Structure 1
Amino acid sequence: MNLAKNRNEIDPKFKWDIEKIYADTETWNKEFQEIKTLAPKLKEYEGKLNNAETLYEFLQLEEKVSRKLYLLLIYAFLKSDEDTTQNQYQALKSKIQAFAAEFGSYVSFMNPELLSLPEGTMEKFLEEKEELKLYKFMIEDLLRNKPHVLSQKEEALLASAEDIFGAPQNIYNIFSNADLKFPQITNEEGEKVDFTESSYFKYIISKNRDVRKEAFEALFGTYESFKNTIATSLTASTKKFAFMAKTKKFNSSIEYALSPLNIPVSVYDNLIETINNNLNLLHRYVDVKKKLLGVDELHMYDLYVPVIDVPDMHIEFQEGVDMVKEGIKPLGEEYLNIFQEGIDNRWIDVYENKGKRNGAYSWGSYDTMPYVLLNYNFKYNDVSTLAHEMGHSLHSYYSRKEQPFVYSNYTLFCAEVASTVNECLLINDRISKETDKKKKLYYINEQLEQIRGTVFRQTMFAEFERETHKLIDAGTPLTSEELNDIYYNLNKKYYGDKMVIDDLIKVEWARIPHFYRDFYVYQYSTGYSAAMSFTSAILRDGEEAVERYKGFLKSGGSDYSINILKKAGVDMTTTKPVQDTMDRFKELLDMLEAEL
């Protein structure tokens, strides 16, 4: 299995069962024609959502069309991803993508129309028609945003400018992906090789320090050359966001960003404050890494090189499944049975094949299995990925089983929690049971790196965003020099005086595409922290904590994310979840130092 096979050479038991959705493309095309006839009927309701009966009819039809649309989407995308060389599935994908945009135009009138109704009308609808009570939370959430919805003419004007507003991000994407050229570097064999953004990670983890240094300087030196251009792009994007916040009558950009999920700004601030209060742990980790590498000075280009050599592990898929099941055993028999059902019922497309999409994901719809794409390559990282993606899939399984369609999807704020709980339970189990010293050190360091990269680093990004948006909100112009200073000082604060903060790191902000998705990255930190809090409770309190956790999995999007987590025992409005993660980081540091 080490060489990629053709798709038809893979044993069917290692392929996902997409034929459960549609037997063939002929069936897909037949369903596609049906939905093309059905969907335009939604447009006929425009201007008529002024009584409870008609609103209910519309919502029922919208659900019927949406569920058919998702089935068509899932089939087309998954068939395309399993072998991207098959043009017939690329064609299906293009057809359904175009139709999905068309569908959006059929239902876009709903929210503005409902919000334009006189005060109290929607509440009256809920009283008049019992069946509408299913949509109570959806309607209340819509009404919550009413103070920030402009007139229909103003909203239409903003919508027409959407393409223009996206220009800074589009310019940055084209520039960084297509036009930015890097110098050649010398590889470990002493050969001159082409260097790209995507090859950077390969060289920054090299055991050869000269290679790491040259890669670091090639990457950031190039970004430094274009810092003024990229600063203009990023500040234009940030100004656009500030403009939208003011136009929509929010007090700040951060309030505007967190409003759709009803996340209090205090959650964002608590995250940064708690991490700042625990930076001594990151400084200590840096010091340990310095000692393990045996260097007099630790530089920014030394940060990613493995300090514990990866053990030579070849893990067959079934062995990987058994490892994950052993790790997640604390979640109870029901959870384990559903996990095994996923293996037996072919949720998972396991191995790489020629033409298959790279990476891994979990995806499905209300009426399908929660499918998982893997490219399993027999390493521990592949086992961890299996745990992660099946965490997503079991979250989806529980949500869809317990919730009606309208609340079956969970939010981005909650999305990484279940997947990370599985990962944490797996690695905690490996650390606690491993008797081989080298492997144990590897697992300990692996989890330390997860927390450093996902919690410390993403929180530093979040702090950078908070500072830059605050200045733009106040009308303070930002040049590349100001952006460099803010970013450089954050690195100094986060990594401490045990590390050389190389001058070129100041321009790293210029290569982070997530900064064009304003106030997005903090959710990596909060999601990991919530997962760590769940993990600690599950291992400490057993069945009681498991039931609370399963309550979270079953909640879908039936309430605000903060409330769903709080009901399950994880209160993100407090500092405890993030502190739980810091406590685990300290515990791992103690273990690492004790084993050395």
Structure 2
Amino acid sequence: MTEDEGESKGGRGLPTRTDIDKAYQWRLEDMYASIEAWDTDAEAVLKDSQELSTLAGRLADGAENLLKALKLQDEIGKRLSMMFAFARMRRDEDNTNATYQALTDKAMSIAVRVEGAKAFLVPEILTIPESQLRTYLQTNSDLGLYEFVLDDLIRQKAHVLPAEQEALLAAAGEVTSAPSHIFTMFNNADLKFPMVIDDDGEEIELTHGRYIHLLESTNQNVRKGAFEAMYKTYGQNRNTLAAVYGSSVKKDIFYSGVRKYESARQAALDDDNVPVSVYDNLIDAVHESLPALHKYLRLRKRVLGLDELHMYDIYTPLVSEMKVKIPYSEALTTVGEAIAPLGEEYQRIARQGMQSGWIDVYETKGKTSGAYSWGAYGVHPYILLNYQDSLDNMFTLAHELGHAMHTYYSHANQPFVYSGYTIFVAEVASTCNEALLTDYLLKRTDDRQMRAYLLNHHLETIRGTLFRQTMFAEFEKLTHQHAEEGGALTPEWLSDTYYKLNEEFFGAECVVDREIAIEWARIPHFYTPFYVYKYATGISASTALSQKILHEGPDAASRYLDFLKSGGSDYPIELLRKAGVDMESPEPVRATLKQFSEMVDELASILEG
């Protein structure tokens, strides 16, 4: 599942699903025509899980047993992924529907039982001598399908524990996930914010959802009030939040130590076989290009007419929102034309999919908000939208269609075992589509206001995804290093470290308000260690690839489609290298930041020329 937002919401005046034409609803019956069909698969999954568990202790007896175990794992995975996708997406249609709440819970319960049944598999494979595994591969041609899987297990063998110890670590998972769970409950359920003044001069309660909207206000007093109220609230809870985050970091260090990694960062990156140098190159390249960010901040200060630019002035748009009404039918046409550089086949499949049950289009009562793309092997991908007739929503369509087409090509060209792709590459296809849409719209408008709006939109995407996420990534690197060296993650150390990073990124052109020092305390992604850097590398890779597609034509597009078709059949760094971008080099990041700098210049010429 690739999810870009998502909490359930309903509302007065919203239509129900029965009010929406079927043409604008996804066709989940393409997965299961009935709950009875779902139950049949559930029975098959449990039966196959029992059969798999009978192979425990027998994998070294011969290639046939190993092949049978791996095939059973695939069959279970195919069915279970479709079961879970169907249940969750049915629930997402209307989160108040008790039937699909229960079906989702049932799917999760079955998944837990499956994990228990196959827990023996990896540790037992790794007890088989490598020479014996190689002999299996040579003598059993059917086992050749799993050669990359087995090679990857062998690569990580030094970090896998004996079966009993792996079982113990798995059993501790509920305990070690406590910091993340505590933060989520505290942040979303218990934390209460004060009243602030909105654009209409009315008192409203500050919430997470309202915060960014208030920071986008054209009234600086509104922005300042929301900013100070938000961080005062976190500051009042700094000791608790430092203890929770510190516990999360210690958990990361514990697991990396137990698995014999040099650091928590190395352990996190090793899942994708990504060298630590990629992480460091990203940070170094962004620091080299901070002058481009500072140039953008100077433009922001001039356009907003401010004597001083503060941290709460960074989000308000430089160009007022274009009141352009873009009906869904027009968005389909425009996006369909914008992706033409990817070739006729890509364009044909995407257009057909957009009009044949892939997409759930409109907001309805109880429907999950935001947007995501999801798919299950053996059926076409799906997209959840809550489409409003706006330019931003057209970009969301392009973004999610990129995810869906990646899934489509991956599933169509790979066996199940290699049909999934890692988070490291997941955002490449989506942001590549956005880049193509931006290029298409810029080439077809002479309206200076529209051009400025599009440039501002793209600049904010890069600022938020490449600069901001890299600053987060550097903070994670520093916190884990400090703890690994025996340092205490006190609220003072965390806040001072975070404040210094903000000074380095923004201080040349911005008043770095002291309140920003506590921002670390409100970032949920920090509880998934060393994750955010993938947003920055993803947009860098997609920018490089989209430029090749636009300037080199069909050959570059063909390499890109081969990348989409590759799924998880190789390591992400290698897949991107074959597509034409080397993420072990800092050059893709530098090229994206060079484009950022050039767009700042163009936006300045429009707004100030």
Unaligned runs of 5+ in 1: none
| Counterparts of 2:194 and 2:32, CA distance in 1 | 49
Pairing 1:5–2:18 present:
no
Q: What's 1:41 paired with?
A: 51
CA distance in 1, matches of 2:117, 2:285: 46
Partner of residue 480, structure 1: 491
Pick the aligned partner of 2:192 from 169, 174, 181.
181
Q: Map of 1:304-383 to 2, 5 A cutoff?
A: 304-383=315-394
Amino acid at match of 2:45: I
How far off is 1:462 after superposition?
A: 0.5
Shift of 1:151: 2.7
- Structure 1 counterpart SS, 2:87: helix
2:507 pairs with one of 485, 496, 510: 496
Verify: 1:594 aligned to 2:605, yes or no: yes
Q: Deviations for 1:255-297, whole angstroms, at most 9, x for unmatched residues? A: 1111111000010000000000000000000000011111111
Task: Return the offset for 1:56.
Answer: 0.9
Shift in Å, 1:3: 5.4
1:147 corresponding residue in structure 2: 158
Q: Secondary structure at the match of 1:104?
A: helix
Q: CA deviation at 1:306?
A: 1.1
> Could you tell me how far apart the structure 2 residues matched to 1:363 and 1:229 are?
36
TM-score with structure 1 setting the length: 0.98
CA deviation vs aligned residue, 1:389-444 (integer Å, no higher than 9, x gap): 11011101111111111100011100000011001110122122211111111001
Cα offsets for 1:473-495 (capped at 9, x unmatched): 11122211111111111111111
Residue 213 of structure 1 is matched in structure 2 by 224
Given the alignment, which residue of 103, 109, 120 partners 1:109?
120
Any residues of structure 2 matched to 1:550-561 within 5 Å, and which?
550-561=561-572
What do you get for the CA RMSD once the two structures are aligned? 1.4
**Structure 2 matches for 1:97-136, cutoff 5 A?**
97-136=108-147
Is the contact made by 2:123 and 2:161 (CA closer than 8 Å) also made in structure 1? no
For 2:582, the equivalent position in structure 1 comes to: 571
Farther off after superposition, 545-554 or 57-66: 57-66
State the AA in 2 paired with 1:52.
A
Contact 2:374 2:382 in 1 (8 A): yes
- Secondary structure at the aligned position of 1:310 is classed as coil
Report SS of the residue matched to 1:378. coil
1:257 maps to which residue? 268
Give 1:565 deviation, angstroms: 0.5
SS in 1 for 2:114: helix
Cα pair 2:46 2:114 within 8 Å, conserved: no
Q: What is the identity, as a one-letter code, of the residue corresponding to 2:33?
A: A
Query: Is it true that 1:20 corresponds to 2:19 in the alignment?
Result: no
How far apart, in 2, do the equivalents of 1:70 and 1:236 lie? 32
Q: Distance in 2 between matches of 1:392 and 1:551?
A: 15
Cα distance between partner residues in 2 of 1:274 and 1:38 = 49
CA distance in 1, matches of 2:243, 2:355: 53
Q: Distance in 1 between matches of 2:343 and 2:59?
A: 47
Counterpart Cα distance in 1 of 2:353 and 2:146: 31
Aligned in 2, Cα 1:157/1:20: closer, same or farther, shift over 3 Å?
Answer: closer
Q: Which moved more, 1:297-306 or 1:340-349?
A: 340-349
Alpha-carbon separation, structure 1, partners of 2:329 and 2:358? 15
Letter in 2 for 1:455: L
Partners of 1:68 and 1:319 lie apart in 2 by: 37
- Structure 1 CA distance, aligned partners of 2:543 and 2:140? 43
- Per-residue CA deviation, residues 96-133 of structure 1 (Å, 9 max, x unaligned), is 11111111111111001111123422112111201001
Partner Cα separation in structure 1 for residue 248 and residue 73 of structure 2: 34
What is the TM-score when the length of structure 2 is the normalising length? 0.96
Deviations 1:324-353 (A, max 9, x none): 122211111111001112023211111111
**Counterpart amino acid of residue 582 in structure 2:** D
Q: SS of the residue aligned with 1:147?
A: helix
Q: Name the SS of the counterpart of 1:476 in structure 2.
A: coil
CA distance in 1 between counterparts of 2:315 and 2:524 reads 20
- The Cα of 1:526 is off from its aligned counterpart by 0.2
Q: Is the deviation greater in 344-353 or in 126-135?
A: 344-353
CA distance in 2, matches of 1:280, 1:118: 54
Name which of 31, 47, 64 aligns with 2:41.
31
Q: Quick one: percent identity of the two aligned structures?
A: 45
Of residues 395, 399, 403 in structure 1, which corresponds to 2:414? 403
Return the offset for 1:358: 0.7
SS at structure 2 position matched to 1:548: helix
Partner in structure 2 of residue 233 of structure 1: 244
Which SS does the other structure have where 2:383 is aligned? strand
User: Which digits, 9 at most, give the CA deviation of each residue in 1:346-379, with x for residues without a partner?
Assistant: 1111111122111111111111110111111111
1:509: how far off?
0.4
Q: Counterparts of 1:184 and 1:270 in 2: how far apart (Å)?
A: 43
Q: 2:89 is matched by which residue type in structure 1?
A: L
Paired residues for 1:405-554 under 5 Å: 405-554=416-565
Tell me by how many angstroms 1:30 deviates.
3.3
Instruction: Name the residue aligned to 2:310.
Output: 299
- The one-character-per-residue Cα deviations of 1:211-249 (angstroms, maximum 9, x if unpaired) are 111110110011111112211111121122112212211
**Which letter does structure 2 place at the counterpart of 1:531?**
S
Which runs of no fewer than 5 residues in structure 2 stay unpaired? 1-11
Measure how far apart 1:164 and its partner are.
2.2
Give the superposition deviation at 1:549: 0.6
Query: Following the alignment from structure 2 to structure 1, what is the Cα–Cα distance between the partners of residues 184 and 33?
Result: 39
